[in-house]
Amino acid sequence: MAYVATRGGARAIDQSERLYRAEFGQIDASRVDTLRRALPMLIDRVMGEASLYEPDLAALALAQTGGDLYEAVLLLRAWRTTQPRLAIAAPVLQDDLITHRRISAAFKDIPGGQILGPTLDYSHRLLATDVLQGSPYTPTPVDPAAAPAPAHQPSLAAWQKAQGLVADPVREDVAPDAIPDLTREPLLFPAKRAHTLQSLARADTGGMLALGYAAMRGYGNAHPTVNELRLAEAEVRVTHPRGTVFSAGRVKVSQAEVTSKGKSGQLNLGFCATLGWNEVKVISGATLDLNAAAAPKGSPVEEEFFLYHTEPVEASGFCIHFKLPHYVTFQSALDALRGAKTEAQKVPA
Amino acid sequence: MFDRPTEFDHATLLAVLARADVTRLTALAETLLPQLVEVEVLHSRTGLVMLPMRDTVKGTDFHLGEVLVAEAHLRATGCEGYGMVVGRNLEQAMAMAVVDAVASLGQSPEILAFLATESAEIIVRDTARLCEVEATRVEMETF
């Protein structure tokens, strides 16, 4: 191990940080509030990858980093460590989700019906350039239906299991405080399913898309169709000191199942969920989960490959550490190169 | 007109308080506070609640992520009160704990009126949203 001293470093480092922050100026509560209201999808993405649900803090992290997503996620993950864990909530069950969007691309007549919810899926992608000419864009309000949609929608997978279309493994009851937890134990392989799904829930959206897309294009062993995609709110059910279980409020969650025809005469399903509303992430994650079972070693859909390479803080941190001084390591490589060259140029006696 | 409930069960009371309008909740707590004697605050803090979820494919419970909450726990002569809300509003959690403590001694007309008003508003908000959601229902047909 060797060290490098940087002369004049403290002043230069201070000035470089000032130069960075000068780009986006003063941060105040109003800016944070505006970011939170104007960019809910980005806020959701940051919260999901940080694995911490608090929209105001996510907006602050974005404001403070000038929108650098990896830095924002790092800030939130770091801040999280200052907080005590007070409780583990009751598990969120699909049947209890307050559902805002729920579609299936595999089955058109799903129990409960198809509800598009908030989406740009069928919209024209036109940039509203008039806004830059001084004409504000005001979205047209929804014409609400006379009667509300049911708050809860039945599980498609449960219906498929009842029909014998997909396997229905016997589930093992685990107390909430015994659920394996990646924030307190390392990820080891073969991974426990609870670790895999927690890791996917907090993974980098872009990384998951890249690897999931590779599987979709053919570098996997199963082509996905969306069995069910759901955007919803989940109640955070905690326990009062007198034992009453109650909802302390709601958080936004996304979940996806993707399916493909299995070899056993049944459908195979992959699953992924995350905090916040982030469809690309959960569809990609479910695709990776679907492909993982039969993946060859070293392929992008092998569990160890995709879980290690989509952890946003570790991956971005490792990437940017290459900017830091590597002079001694590199000097050693140069010395070896020069030595080899000298040896090669020696004329045999 | 609906009849006003004569009592809210504890889980409903707490859930309504957690989603009640914060300004009105705080105002109610301030009017109720003089009813509590020798109040001791055991906790007033923010912290994390881990949120597990059940996988719909294999039925595995896993951790979805952590939720920041504000928590308040107080003790007074003859009662205890507890509040926990999603977010970081300590004042909201403490107001909830005060109302919970006083309600544990008996749900007074003032508390019942508050709970009835707030639960009705929550239902109105949720229903309005679900009417918007229903407007996006589609029928898929194949040709």
Q: Which residues pair with B51 in a beta bridge?
A: B65
Q: Which residues pair with B54 in a beta bridge?
A: B61
Chain B hits for A51, CB-CB cut-off 8 Å, are 65-66
Neighbours of B105 (CB within 10 A): 12
Inter-chain CB proximity B60 and A194 less than 8 Å: yes
**B137 inside domain:** no
**B143 inside domain:** no
Domain that holds residue B110: 10-131
Whether residue B45 lies within 8 A of chain A, CB to CB, comes out as yes
**B142 inside domain:** no
**B54 inside domain:** yes
A52 to chain B, closest Cα gap in Å: 5
The pLDDT score that the predictor gives to residue A108 is: 87
Distance CA A194, CA A289 (A): 12
Distance CA B74, CA A76 (A): 30
Q: Which helix (DSSP H) or strand (DSSP E) does residue B118 occupy?
A: helix B109-134
**B99 inside domain:** yes
Q: pTM for this one?
A: 0.94
Does residue A312 sit in helix, strand or coil?
A: helix
Chain B hits for A115, CB-CB cut-off 8 Å, are 133-134, 136-138
Inter-chain CB proximity B49 and A85 less than 8 Å: yes
N- to C-terminal Cα distance for chain B?
49
Q: What is the pLDDT of residues A188-228, one digit of tens each?
A: 999 999 999 999 999 999 999 999 999 999 888 888 999 99
Distance CA A45, CA A175 (A): 29
N- to C-terminal Cα distance for chain A?
38
**B121 inside domain:** yes
| Residue linked to tokens 């909830």 | B96
Q: Is the ipTM of this complex over 0.85?
A: yes
Q: Where are the domains of chain A?
A: 11-80, 94-117+149-168+184-310
Q: What is the pLDDT of residues B82-109, one digit of tens each?
A: 999 999 999 999 999 999 999 999 999 9
Does residue B93 sit in helix, strand or coil?
A: helix
Size of interface A-B (CB pairs under 8 A): 248
Distance CA B45, CA A83 (A): 9
**B4 inside domain:** no
Task: Identify the residue among B9, B51, B132 best suited for mutation to test binding to A, counting A beta carbons within 10 A and taking the highest.
Answer: B51
Nearest CB to A249 within list B18, B71, B138: B18
Nearest chain B residue to A197 by CA distance is: B62
Nearest CB to B133 within list A56, A100, A171: A100
Does residue A160 sit in helix, strand or coil?
A: helix
Whether residue B54 lies within 8 A of chain A, CB to CB, comes out as yes
| Token code pair at residue A177 | 């405080």
Domain total for chain B?
1
**B5 inside domain:** no
CATH number at residue B100: 3.30.390
**pLDDT beneath 70: ranges in chain B:** 1-4
Neighbours of A341 (CB within 10 A): 9
**pLDDT beneath 50: ranges in chain A:** none
The pLDDT score that the predictor gives to residue A225 is: 94
The pLDDT score that the predictor gives to residue B1 is: 44
Distance CA B115, CA B32 (A): 14
Inter-chain CB proximity B136 and A90 less than 8 Å: no
Nearest chain A residue to B43 by CA distance is: A86
Distance CA A136, CA B50 (A): 41
B36 to chain A, closest Cα gap in Å: 19
| Token code pair at residue A219 | 């570098």
